[in-house]
Structure 1
Amino acid sequence: MAERNRRTVRDLRRGNRARVLQRLYFDGPLSRQELGPATGLSSGSISNVVAELAAENLLEEAGVVDSDGGRPRTLLRVAPGGGLLIGIDIGETRIRVELFDLSLTELARTERLLAQHGYDVDRIVGHVRSGVADVLRDAGADPRRLLGIGIGVPGIIERDAPDGVVGDVGSVVHGQTIDWSAVPFERLLRDAVRVPPEVPFFIDNGAKTLGQAEMWFGGGRGAGASAIALIGSGVGACVNHGDLLDEDRSSQALEWGHSTVQLRGRRCRCGSIGCLEAYAGAEAMRERWQEAGGPLPADADDETALAALLAAAYPADGG
């Protein structure tokens, strides 16, 4: 436990920078005076961090406001031109790749549809490689300005070094439902995706990344704890607990869809019997709809099937 809590000066500096940037993302523009109470940092620390971030073109001034009897206050915001970010969602039916500026304004996006059971590793890596190339080209963006690439994937993520430090392999993915066993996904992407070698890859469970996004920008904002469900072809969940800026805050992805809800029930695609996903997942609902005699084209994917099911359950004429 002592090793875990031992923090270096570099850790403190990085944490302070993150707190300032996060508060400006969520509540900005803010003045230096407002950043102090918002982050819990001293005025001296705020001055040092702001000076560093401004020198790196990560912050910029956003105007001046009058104060009560004192000098006008200069507002600060995240500088959109300070860098580029790429987000990738590897879902059950498609891969979505999006390019953002540093203010999280979307600059370009592309999608790659996945065929049924289309989780061949080489195919996925190829889709990511071409998707990244497409969004950079469409936005006329320089890959040298990339600050990072975030990727949400199905499955459990294992890192080959503590605290997410990248080693020779990087993040390894274990995904029973997609038939991935110890796939060295980060290494494969680094070998394939044409970006500078210093650009970091951040790979995590898709339900966990969704839960984090909801806590930052969605329905979980301001909540001390949340449980967020991800229901699609599969069923997942993310449980968050603790303050958004607290380094000890926990965020955990759960294999909720593979909890047993029916003894001797339907067989799940994971191989077990009676899983929640065997009843509530899109693939399972499509199968149950067909078993009940519901009309459905033979080549319909999960989205088409669910649209037909909902249209039948809630007809437009109210009948």
Structure 2
Amino acid sequence: MTRPNGRTVRDLRRENRTAVLRRLYFDGPMSRFSLGPATGLSSGSISNVVAELVAEGLVEEAGSVDSAGGRPRILLRVAPASGRMIGVDVGETRIRIELFDLTLTELARTERPLVPAAEGAERYEVGIVVDHIREGIAEVLRTADVPAEALLGVGVGVPGIVEHPEDGGAGGALVHGQTVGWDAVPLERLLREAVELPAEVPYRIDNGAKTLGQAEMWFGAGRGASSAVVVLFGSGVGACVTTDPPAPGRALEWGHLKVQVRGRRCRCGALGCLEAYAGAEALLERWREAGGEPPAGAGEEAAFAAMTAAAYPSDSGEPDPAAVAVLAETAEYLGAGFADLINLFQPERILVGGWAGLLLGTRFLAEVERHARAYALAYPAARVTLGLGTLGPDAVTVGAAILPLADFFARGGRREDPAPAEEPPAWTEAVRDRTAH
């Protein structure tokens, strides 16, 4: 049956289930009585939806509370064991794979370092990345003793622009990662071919900064904000802008904003990108050029920690002038980049995450904020707050796991079904007949 507005009874039932699940997920445990005003649904609709969800094992009882003069009210919550998700972070120095239950409690994790397999080999060689993900998924499922059939999906955060073909083509999501040498890599197809998972388990692939933004808006420092920009600061820099907190944000290639004409060469090949001055990889290069000496043989994260400690010594030692100068210049470049975000999007909050951003901490962020407010227009600058993300350096895997979870909620808590074959519009046959002559 189709309603006058085009929505079917099935659509309405799905929307009601979605409303109840989301409210219980974010604000539960709640009673049936409280769910009515919280969702805007009638008591009859609440009773029907809750009965369905309890019967399916998606919702369970979680104690009771006293009511005003009546029987105690039963509290309900989303059942943690009713689904599992995997989040994958294809990071700059490692691939991290985590298995979560429905309430995002970590059940198992593993990491695979991203290092060249041989002299001259690419760190991001696609076959190596796919192998790491395949092995990691198998490991976390085995460690937690979880059958693959229990998965609601696998979310993957990647560097670069992710293209989702409108027709859902056979290859699925394509990754355009210019800084890592990926040109239209059919990552979804490659994972489906390599990873032993049931065909009905969906993959959700998206930009890593976008998954970080989703995590901070749902569970971290972005909760309660009407709009925010979440910045991912690691080897490179990226950002995600969110104007509707429950919905996915929009990934921004902010690191490739031009901050100096004919400036330093960026990993993307262009000149003068913000990332060429503010990414951790670029900072270390500039520190070496200024006379800094990272520990011999240290990886990128260890070397960056050494530079930070040299600029901000915890004891009474003298700061390293080269590290101080590099970070001071970087704070101004980032401040100018933040000012552009403020002027363009006028967000309520700007949040900094990623391993490098969190390592530099509040002291460095205060300098960035000072420059941002000086460079930005006064009105939006006065209405934005800047802060650090609260979910730690592993937040991308949490955000990646949210991708299939958000889809699951949008379907009313139902598993993904193959799309039914649809008849083509009548005009297609007429056009085909004309072109045949």
Q: Give TM-score scaled by structure 2 length.
A: 0.67
Q: Distance in 2 between matches of 1:8 and 1:174?
A: 38
Residue 121 of structure 1: aligned partner: 126
Q: Which amino acid aligns with 2:262?
A: R
What do the CA deviations read for 1:212-266 (whole angstroms, capped 9, x no partner)? 111100001111111111100010111101252xxxx562110010001112211
State whether residues 99 and 135 of structure 1, in contact with CA within 8 Å, keep that contact through their aligned partners in structure 2: yes
Matches within 5 A, 1:201-280: 201-244=203-246, 249=247, 251-280=249-278
Query: Which residue matches 1:286?
Result: 284
Query: Superposed, which structure 2 residues align to 1:1-319 within 5 Å?
Result: 7-115=7-115, 117-161=122-166, 166-244=168-246, 249=247, 251-319=249-317
* Structure 1 position 291, deviation (Å): 0.5
SS in 1 for 2:250: strand
1:282-305 Cα shifts (integer Å, max 9, x gaps): 100010111011112453322011
Query: Would the alpha carbon gap of residues 169 and 13 (structure 1) be closer, same or farther in structure 2, given more than 3 Å must change?
Result: farther
8 Å Cα contact 2:243-2:249 kept in structure 1 = yes
Partner AA of 1:121 in structure 2: V
When residues 318 and 34 of structure 1 are mapped into structure 2, their CA distance, relative to the original with a 3 A threshold, is: farther
CA–CA separation in structure 2 for the residues paired with 1:73 and 1:52:
19
Question: 1:24 Cα shift?
Answer: 1.8
Which one-letter code corresponds to 1:211 in the other structure? G
Equivalent residues of 1:88, 1:150 under 8 A apart:
yes
Give secondary structure in 2 for the equivalent of 1:177: helix
Does the CA-based 8 Å contact 1:171-1:184 persist in structure 2?
yes
Structure with the higher fraction of residues in helix conformation: 2
Counting matched residue pairs gives: 308
Q: Secondary structure at the match of 2:180?
A: coil
Q: CA 1:250/1:83 → structure 2, altered by over 3 Å: closer, same or farther?
A: closer
Aligned partner letter, 1:198: E
Q: 1:15–1:126: structure 2 CA closer, same or farther, 3 Å change rule? A: farther
Q: Which moved more, 1:104-113 or 1:61-70?
A: 61-70
- The higher radius of gyration belongs to 2
For 2:12 and 2:177, the matched residues in 1 are separated by: 35
Shift in CA distance, 110/310, structure 1 to aligned 2, threshold 3 Å: same
Unaligned runs of 5+ in 1: none
What's the offset of the Cα at 1:10? 4.1
Q: CA deviation at 1:88?
A: 0.9
- AA aligned opposite 1:83: G
- Aligned partner letter, 2:274: L
- Displacement of 1:315 in angstroms is 1.3
SS of equivalent residue, structure 2 residue 60: strand
Instruction: Output the CA distance in 1 between the equivalents of 2:91 and 2:242.
Output: 21
- Contact 1:208–1:237 under 8 Å retained in 2: yes
More strand by share: 1
Contact persistence 1:296–1:305 (CA under 8 A): yes
Tell me whether 144-153 or 228-237 shows the greater mean CA deviation: 144-153
Note the alpha carbon deviations across 1:260-289, whole angstroms, 9 max, x for none.
111221111111111110111010001011
Cα distance in 1 for residues equivalent to 2:40 and 2:171? 37
In structure 2, runs of 5+ residues without a counterpart are 117-121, 318-437
Q: Relative to structure 1, is the Cα distance of residues 12 and 230 closer, same or farther in structure 2, using a 3 angstrom cutoff? A: farther
Work out whether residues 295 and 306 of structure 2, in 8 Å CA contact, stay in contact via their aligned partners in 1.
Answer: no
**Amino acid aligned to 1:215:** M
- Percent identity, aligned pairs only, is 67
| Cα pair 2:210 2:250 within 8 Å, conserved | yes
Root-mean-square deviation over aligned CA pairs? 1.8
Residues 315 and 281 from structure 1, CA distance in 2 versus in 1: closer, same or farther, beyond 3 angstroms? same
In the alignment, the residues of structure 2 paired with residue 318 and residue 127 of structure 1 have an alpha-carbon distance, to the nearest angstrom, of 43
Note the C-alpha offset of 1:103: 2.2
TM-score by length of 1: 0.91
Question: Which region of structure 1 is more displaced relative to structure 2, 295-304 or 258-267?
Answer: 295-304
